[in-house]
Amino acid sequence: MRKSGPRLWWEGVAISQPIMIGYFPVAVMFGISSRTAGLGALEAMAVSAIVFAGASQFALVGMVAGGVSFPGALLATAGLNLRHIFYGPAIAPHLGVKRWREAMPLAFGLTDEVFASAIALLPSRSVEERAPLMMGLETGAYLSWLAGTLFGALGFQAAAGLTPNLVPILSFSLPSLFLVILLPLAKGRGAVPALVAAAVAAILLLCGFSTGALLAGGVAGAAVGACAGGGDA
């Protein structure tokens, strides 16, 4: 029996629970960091609601607090999100969305973890099911991020004394979540591009090139994957 759009949306929300669990503590830290940097609770919520990109939000708040001009902060934040150039073309063929008005909400919620989960989930579902599932997956992640930001922004004073101990604990939750999501995809032919991307990014990070490490790793992994695919053809 074919499932309705709302049921598929709820299924997507349910599937997003691991992402929600990983996002919440990191968003709490963002809420605390925003208030510590001098932003109000509403401003912190606005950043999470509009930007919805973890690393970029932390960088944006830090630069604004440090006196960086808004255009400069905006350019730096955009640079951190350049990896999304690869996400859209990779996920679009699975969705079957033809109108830009339908694509825009899905593009907004396409975070790293949502992308990894969608790549694993969507190919096994029919074309009609994919967009509602994707929307539910993104909605769960988005609401968790907003809830964590609100919790951190409102409770930052109580948590201020614990922040030095919370940072190493909470900041590890997101990388560990992404690793858990990524591991099932890194098998067979998909393991080689993933290992190349990880190796390039790790080497550049160790050499001090933190800004371009992720982008370079993504390009290297994509290039190896494209070459491998071309060789099979």
Check residues 176 and 217 and name the one with the higher pLDDT.
217
pLDDT exceeds 50 at position 39: yes
Retrieve residue 127's tokens.
Answer: 């074309």
From residue 218, alpha-carbon distances to 32, 182, 194, 214 in Å are 31, 14, 9, 6
Give per-residue pLDDT as tens, 111-136: 888 988 888 888 888 888 888 999 99
**CA gap 112, 34 in Å, rounded:** 22
Q: Scanning the structure block, which residue is given the tokens 């440090």? A: 66
Retrieve residue 189's tokens.
Answer: 């032919």
**CA gap 193, 220 in Å, rounded:** 8
Q: Scanning the structure block, which residue is given the tokens 């060789």? A: 231
Give per-residue pLDDT as tens, 130-186: 889 999 999 999 999 999 999 989 887 666 565 566 555 555 555 665 566 566 656
